[in-house]
Amino acid sequence: MTTLHLITNGKIIADKEIKKIGGLAEHIDFLHVREKQAPAKDLCFLIEKMIEAGLPEEKIIINDRADLAKIYHCKGVQLAYHSVPVREVVRTFPDLQVGKSVHTLQEAIEAEEEGADYIVFGHVYRTQSKPGLAPKGLATLETIVNQVSVPVIAIGGIDVTNLNATLNAGAKGVAVMSTIWDADEPYRVSQQLRTMLDNWKEERVE
């Protein structure tokens, strides 16, 4: 399954942003709640508002906070380099899907060995969220895909112009943030990405 992951942008707690969720829900597979500065109370409020706006719990992934993902019956948790080790989350929360963000082949291999269900690798292309940092590129993405057996989700600068190239490199899905949130018409862009993903899958099945 080729999946579309939408990452929150640190501004989602604003009411106008939360209201967008209902319209986007049908096009995305997962929404990652990545609000690094938000305290637990605010995250709880945000999760509840997202569900009220029409986003199913099974489409919600919480960054770092496995406890909140469990409490709200979310799909899973996304771990970073500073998070609790993958193996401990897998052991303590066996019902959660556990993802790990990685930046190198070695990190990807370690994440798989510890029991991650999937990895998020990037940044693949230049992106405004990583100013001054060189992108990892498609060659590195393809190397990682060929060295691990878990799904690799590509992140960083992905949009409609490079989506197919990213999938051709072996990514099982893509994660985006500004591509949708900063668009003049987020619904239209999310629909376009969804259509491209579905068409790509159909081409590979034939």
Find the distance separating the first CA and the last CA of the chain, reported in whole Å: 15
- Residues annotated as catalytic are 123
Give the whole-angstrom CA distance, residue 66 versus residue 165. 33
* Residue 83 Cα distances to 63, 86, 102, 148, 174, angstroms: 9, 8, 12, 21, 22
Sequence letter at residue 2: T
Contacts of 133 (CB under 8 A, 6+ apart): 123
